[in-house]
Structure 1
Amino acid sequence: MFTHGRRWWIISLVALGTVLNYLARSSLSVAAPTLKAAFDMSTREYSWVVATFQGAYTVMQPIAGWLLDQVGLRLGFALFAVGWSLSNCAHAFANGWLSLAFFRGLLGMTESAAIPSGLKVVSEWFPPKERTVATGWFNIGSSLGGMIAPPLVIFCILHWGWQVAFVVTGGLGFLWAALWYAGYRQPEHDPKLGAAERAYILDGRSMSPPVGKADAWHTVLASREFWSIAIPRFLAEPAWQTFNFFIPLYLYEARHMDLQQVAAFAWLPFLAADAGSLFGGYLAPWLMRRFGASLLTSRKLVMTLGASLMMGPAAIGLADSATLAIVLFCVGGFAHQMLSGALMTLSADIFDSRVVATATGMAGSAAWIGGLAFSLVVGALADQLGYHPLFASLGVLDIMAAVVLWILLRERQNHHG
């Protein structure tokens, strides 16, 4: 059947790249207790290392998106993958928190292309009714990478040292870059794509005439639709970045787990996040079929349900055991990836495929400004206030994001499933 063909292989390749991208970035948080001891690094200094990655990622996302729109996905995504692999391997040469922060900044610059690339693939290869499903599948890579990191990194640390952990998690990206460059083509030029599936994909593109046909970033930035995505992403992103950068450290410091226990449990919220990515991806088209929800309304409903479930991790301070704390983190991982997939897919729904990576990159910068600011707050206040008030505030931010989405994103007559 042409409806289950080449495009799903392509999105699987994107998902694998996203796994390796997030495996590389998640390695630091798992190694953080070891590195804090090795470099005599405070939680505040660690937050600055994290912030260097976030700052570079934030600044580079629109540039990466623009470059991908200019040079194309095949070459662009491969080059960025080689860059993040080199940068992560270079962490092995750090000899203090300042040099670690420098290599982290290089990693942030090069890893910034992953999500814009994924959304550009979704816009090129999938009709609107399948886009949340496709985004859900490639977006599981972000949580799957975080899930693999604790056991893999801690195994490397315990057997060979923390330096090897960064070389291993970075080196895998070189293999993927070669696989991507060899295997990716646009639907119009893919020799392995059947005629029926090609027609299905290209016909689907005409179903929702998009915003941003002038191939320019300022057209995107001037649109109400862009801000209806960017502001909610700014408010929602702190939760995911806090999970990625601080869960292992929180379990180690606040719940007094040792490294082996962290390895055994810190991956579970990311497994739940995988489920949330897929559930949210399939929920949107189900709402369209079952209740006749429009394309945009289905995205808003999924996002709102996810934001409501974020009350789980907001209550983590009430957990009387480490086990319950991990369960609440799992609820948070599920909820966040559900709402995140819906928000990110809106870029592919709304913007012309020629500017999707640019639009996604700029919205991603807004998201990462939110994440960066909150991580610095965690670093500054965690030692004084504890983590629990900070986790509580994450749930409030996600509810605010849902409210803003409903207020700003208006239905357009030409958007149909």
Structure 2
Amino acid sequence: MAQSGYSDVAVTTSPIRAERWAWGICWLMFASTVLNYMDRQSIALVGPMIQKEFKLSFADFGWVLASFQLSYAVFQVPAGYLVDRWNVRWAYAGAVAFWSLAGMAAAFAPSLAILMVLRALLGVGESFNWPCGLRANAMILPPADRGLGNGIFNSGAAVGAVLTPLVVPILAAKYGWRTAFIVVGLLGFLWVGVWLVALSGQRRDVFAGRSGAKPPPVDDLSENTSGLSSQAIVGFGSVVVTATLVSLTAFRFGLPAIWWGITVLMVGLLLAALLLPMQSLKGADWAQSLGEIVRLRRFWILVLVSVSINVCWHFLVNWLPSFLINDRGMKYLAGGLFSTLPFLAADVGNIGGGALSSFLARRGMNAVKARILVISLCTLLITGGALVGSVSSNILALILIAFMAMGTAAFMANFFAFVQEVSPRHTGLVAGILGGLGNLFAAGFHPVVGWAKDTTGSFAVLFVIVGLIPYVGLGALVLGWGSQSGEVESS
């Protein structure tokens, strides 16, 4: 396990120009993201079969989707904290093995409750993917190349969303939905072997934090293991107790109470860290790290960005097959096949959006301004999705959704570059918190999607919402970020 100080040095002393092998690692992390999305998206493509087998409404199926995303949201925060301190090579390998096993186990679920538990465990393992990937990219790529590096890594989401409809519906139609889960899960163990072999020798040392630079003085590491102050214990403890009590009301008010309980926990801990005096947080490294992050104004800006763009992206990933089958009248296999087209466009957006901001930065434009310009163009593309419910042509609807997916993916590639600049010392934790909050609200949106579909019989109004919500994130960046990379501002 690497010392936290060594990891920080590795980030802050990244090379001026990326070495060739570093781009190869980016593509290997692209492959892990492909598998990540294949494991998580399989359930969306076999959703009609699961709904039929367990007699579920669309709102009920929304909670099945949320079972994955809620655990994914919660565990991104500890995942980010741990990735900042662990050897990324082993953390990444362990995470992929864990989520692959959970995905395979879902194939043997005898009941809906056990299926939801296993989907939640899948979320625990997959929560490490983005903190690991962003941390690794920050260690091996210079700032000017991170937009492109993140685009390569993140484009695995779109490619996974393309490949899954080409594989899962065919397996499910012929052998049943459970077989599809087994096949996809097995691929993860193959990746683990390749990853461990690829990161050997000198490359292994870089990911362990042994980059040749001397560690900072002990004082700079801010390590204090004497324990939290009584004031901090009361503050954080009050949040935990309140969240637990809210969650326990699930016995009376159902699954929404669990979502509210998790929301109270995640948001409450952040607000407690912000309101408590910094001195009271110095008894534990995790508390001090959290306190440092929430005092950065740019962190709160990215909270708005993460929530807005994650709601948009996860709506497309999880509900597009159902929209094509139920609103557009496509057959099961046809709906799965045509759902690949928008995600092909998203793959173009991931690479193209990252490459465009890198191109503009290398031609003299300020890196922040280049990213915001690209994100502005992306938001315009996403807006076209608001018209999907009002067009009668299936072809035109798919074109609009394709532009929407392309814009969303390119937006996210550049958003991740901002994430890496909030606090280089805490890259994994920042990524974990932002990803967790984004997925928390995306999880809460799934039952709303199902309810709206059950109530109105259409997904039209939902496309309007997800087509316009990215303007919240864009506005926050334009108004609040500032023009200089690496600039640290307090809230």
* TM-score normalised per structure 1: 0.90
Which residue of structure 2 lines up, in the alignment, with residue 225 of structure 1?
A: 298
Which residue of structure 1 lines up, in the alignment, with residue 78 of structure 2?
A: 63
Query: Which of 231, 235, 247 is the matching residue for 2:320?
Result: 247
Query: Which of 334, 344, 352 is the matching residue for 1:279?
Result: 352
User: How far apart are 1:146 and its partner, in Å?
Assistant: 0.7
1:257 match: secondary structure = coil
Whether 1:78 aligns to 2:93 is yes
Query: Which of 288, 293, 296 is the matching residue for 2:365?
Result: 293
1:310 match: secondary structure = helix
Query: Which of 27, 51, 68 is the matching residue for 1:36?
Result: 51
Aligned residues: 396
Question: Would the alpha carbon gap of residues 315 and 129 (structure 1) be closer, same or farther in structure 2, given more than 3 Å must change?
Answer: same
Which residue of structure 1 lines up, in the alignment, with residue 392 of structure 2?
A: 320
Query: Which of 351, 366, 372 is the matching residue for 2:423?
Result: 351
Question: Would the alpha carbon gap of residues 221 and 257 (structure 1) be closer, same or farther in structure 2, given more than 3 Å must change?
Answer: same
Whether 1:107 aligns to 2:179 is no
Whole-Å separation in 1 of the counterparts to 2:138 and 2:99: 24
Query: Which of 141, 145, 158 is the matching residue for 2:156?
Result: 141
The aligned runs of 1:191-270 (5 Å cut-off) are 216-270=289-343
- Cα deviation digits, residues 98-128 of structure 1 (max 9, x gap): 2221111111111111111111111001001
2:46 match: secondary structure = helix
Whole-Å separation in 2 of the counterparts to 1:282 and 1:357: 23
Query: Which of 301, 314, 333 is the matching residue for 2:405?
Result: 333
Which residue of structure 1 lines up, in the alignment, with residue 31 of structure 2?
A: 16
Which residue of structure 2 lines up, in the alignment, with residue 184 of structure 1?
A: 199
User: How far apart are 1:293 and its partner, in Å?
Assistant: 2.4
Query: Which of 187, 190, 195 is the matching residue for 1:175?
Result: 190
Whole-Å separation in 1 of the counterparts to 2:315 and 2:433: 21
CA RMSD of superposed structures (Å): 2.2
Larger-gyration structure (1/2)? 2
1:41 match: secondary structure = coil
The one-letter amino acid of 1:328's match is L
The one-letter amino acid of 2:466's match is L
Question: Would the alpha carbon gap of residues 343 and 319 (structure 1) be closer, same or farther in structure 2, given more than 3 Å must change?
Answer: same
Whole-Å separation in 2 of the counterparts to 1:141 and 1:113: 15
User: How far apart are 1:4 and its partner, in Å?
Assistant: 5.5
The one-letter amino acid of 2:343's match is F
Query: Which of 474, 477, 487 is the matching residue for 1:405?
Result: 477
Query: Which of 113, 116, 120 is the matching residue for 1:98?
Result: 113
User: How far apart are 1:370 and its partner, in Å?
Assistant: 2.3
User: How far apart are 1:176 and its partner, in Å?
Assistant: 0.9
The one-letter amino acid of 2:120's match is G
The aligned runs of 1:47-62 (5 Å cut-off) are 47-62=62-77
Query: Which of 368, 374, 392 is the matching residue for 2:464?
Result: 392
Whole-Å separation in 2 of the counterparts to 1:47 and 1:152: 23
Unaligned 5+ runs, structure 1: 193-197, 203-211
- Cα deviation digits, residues 129-148 of structure 1 (max 9, x gap): 10001011111101111111
Whole-Å separation in 1 of the counterparts to 2:194 and 2:303: 32
User: How far apart are 1:349 and its partner, in Å?
Assistant: 3.0
Which residue of structure 2 lines up, in the alignment, with residue 195 of structure 1?
A: none
Unaligned 5+ runs, structure 2: 1-16, 214-219, 223-284
Question: Would the alpha carbon gap of residues 414 and 322 (structure 1) be closer, same or farther in structure 2, given more than 3 Å must change?
Answer: closer
The aligned runs of 1:296-315 (5 Å cut-off) are 296-315=368-387
User: How far apart are 1:97 and its partner, in Å?
Assistant: 2.9
Whole-Å separation in 2 of the counterparts to 1:3 and 1:167: 37
The one-letter amino acid of 1:183's match is A
User: How far apart are 1:414 and its partner, in Å?
Assistant: 5.7
Question: Would the alpha carbon gap of residues 35 and 327 (structure 1) be closer, same or farther in structure 2, given more than 3 Å must change?
Answer: same
User: How far apart are 1:13 and its partner, in Å?
Assistant: 0.8
1:70 match: secondary structure = coil
8 A Cα contact 1:123 1:349, kept in partner: no
Which residue of structure 2 lines up, in the alignment, with residue 25 of structure 1?
A: 40
Whole-Å separation in 2 of the counterparts to 1:156 and 1:414: 48
Whole-Å separation in 2 of the counterparts to 1:129 and 1:46: 42
User: How far apart are 1:187 and its partner, in Å?
Assistant: 6.8
Whole-Å separation in 2 of the counterparts to 1:213 and 1:42: 52
The one-letter amino acid of 2:303's match is A
Whole-Å separation in 1 of the counterparts to 2:395 and 2:103: 32
Query: Which of 430, 446, 469 is the matching residue for 1:375?
Result: 446
Which residue of structure 2 lines up, in the alignment, with residue 131 of structure 1?
A: 146
Which residue of structure 1 lines up, in the alignment, with residue 168 of structure 2?
A: 153
